């Protein structure tokens, strides 16, 4: 049995699901179980973005099923426009960087890395994991051609989603 590290960009998967399956959500327990198969979970980490306390219940549910969670608040930037009015902008934190650092930190303890993201910016991470001789796979939605060219992948399918609510 292999020891598996599962690293999931929740924000990326959520965005993809909204486009392909509007109103549906991923069942993170079923997702974890599918990617593990018969292997052993060494570590599961879910990365995401939030404003204030809006995701606290969801984060608690991820923790309850075995995910470490690394959620960051959107960065708030204030500026003034040309007429002097206050303008507030929010910028996203780079979750791929957090994910890459965690993979690097545990690469010597795992046999397989599973990445739950379709962001092509992770290609250098995938290549690095390959160079280390560790198996890597992407399981996500709308997986980019760049990722498909460098590692095995699996698309999230409807059987991994929570039941529709009426």
CATH number at residue 7: 3.40.50.1010
Nearest-angstrom CA–CA distance, 85 and 148: 46
CA distances, 130 to each of 5, 81, 113, 136 (Å): 14, 47, 10, 7
Q: What are phi and psi of 98, to 5 degrees?
A: -60, -45
Segment 122-143 mean pLDDT: 97
Q: Is residue 127 part of a domain?
A: yes
pLDDT at 72 over 60: yes
What pLDDT score was predicted for residue 82?
Answer: 84
Instruction: Give every CB contact of residue 149 below 8 A, 6+ residues apart in sequence.
Output: none
Q: Is residue 143 part of a domain?
A: yes
Nearest-angstrom CA–CA distance, 56 and 77: 23
Please state, rounded to an integer, the average pLDDT across all residues of the chain.
Answer: 92
What pLDDT score was predicted for residue 166?
Answer: 53
Reported as half-sphere exposure (CB side, CA atoms, 13 A), residue 101 has a value of 7
**Domains held by the chain: number:** 1
**Residues 73-94: tens digit of each pLDDT:** 766 667 778 888 877 665 666 8
Q: Is residue 134 part of a domain?
A: yes
pTM of the predicted structure, to 2 decimals:
0.88
Q: Is residue 165 part of a domain?
A: no
Nearest-angstrom CA–CA distance, 107 and 90: 33
Looking at the DSSP bridge assignments, the partners of residue 137 are 114
What pLDDT score was predicted for residue 164?
Answer: 76
Q: Is residue 166 part of a domain?
A: no
Confidence of residue 42 (pLDDT cuts 50, 70, 90): very high
CA distances, 72 to each of 117, 139, 150 (Å): 17, 23, 29
Q: Is residue 106 part of a domain?
A: yes
Segment 54-81 mean pLDDT: 87
With contact defined as beta carbons under 8 Å apart, do 98 and 89 qualify? no
Segment 41-65 mean pLDDT: 93
Two tokens at 99? 């994910």
Q: Is residue 141 part of a domain?
A: yes
pLDDT at 157 over 80: yes
Give the closest residue to 132 by CA, choosing from 110, 154, 147: 110
With contact defined as beta carbons under 8 Å apart, do 103 and 125 qualify? yes
Give the closest residue to 99 by CA, choosing from 130, 76, 122, 78: 122
11: containing domain = 3-160
Q: Is residue 30 part of a domain?
A: yes
């Amino acid at each position: 049995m292999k020891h598996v590290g599962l690293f999931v960009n929740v924000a990326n998967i959520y965005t993809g699901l909204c486009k392909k399956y509007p109103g549906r959500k991923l069942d993170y327990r079923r997702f974890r179980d599918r990617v593990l198969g018969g292997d052993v979970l060494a570590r599961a980490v879910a990365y995401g973005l939030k404003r204030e306390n809006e995701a606290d219940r969801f984060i608690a549910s991820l923790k309850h099923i075995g995910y470490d969670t690394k959620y960051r608040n959107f960065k708030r930037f204030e500026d003034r426009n040309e007429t002097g009015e206050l303008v507030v902008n929010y910028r996203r934190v780079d979750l791929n960087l957090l994910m890459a650092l965690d993979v690097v930190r545990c690469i010597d303890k795992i046999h397989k890395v599973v990445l739950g993201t379709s962001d092509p910016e992770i290609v250098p991470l995938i290549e690095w994991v390959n160079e280390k001789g560790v198996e890597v796979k992407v399981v996500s939605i709308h997986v980019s051609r760049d990722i498909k060219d460098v590692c095995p992948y699996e698309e999230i399918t409807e059987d991994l989603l929570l039941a529709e609510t009426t």
